[in-house]
Amino acid sequence: MAQPASPAGVVDLPPGKGHTRHNHPGAEEIIFVISGNGEQMVEDESGNPVVAKVGPGCTIYVPESRFHSTLNTGGQPMQLFVVYSPAGPELALRELPDFRLLPAGK
């Protein structure tokens, strides 16, 4: 039986790496920084990039279909917990070369 999709997951970004400008048509995203430091860009309603420094405990809201990017600017791995609503955009993460699906509870 296929593993059901989850609208949430943990993303690890090595130092100096990140997610380039992209969006999730029809879906909102919430990003919670578990560890590490970086820069988060979320475009405003007019399409202007708004960049903020983020670190552990920061929560970022990305409105539906809004372009955004994340960059790990620190010297340590950056770990993010991401949630999509509605579910669906997380399926693209499965196509990444370093994707790992962990069993529940791990």
pLDDT, residue 45, reads: 96
What does the pLDDT look like over 63-79, one tens digit per residue?
Answer: 999 999 999 999 999 99
Where exactly are the structural domains of the chain? 33-57
Confidence band for 86, pLDDT divided at 50, 70 and 90: confident
Query: Which two three-digit tokens encode residue 12?
Result: 């690890």
Contact status, residue 72 vs residue 14, Cβ threshold 8 Å: yes
What does the pLDDT look like over 34-50, one tens digit per residue?
Answer: 999 999 999 999 999 99
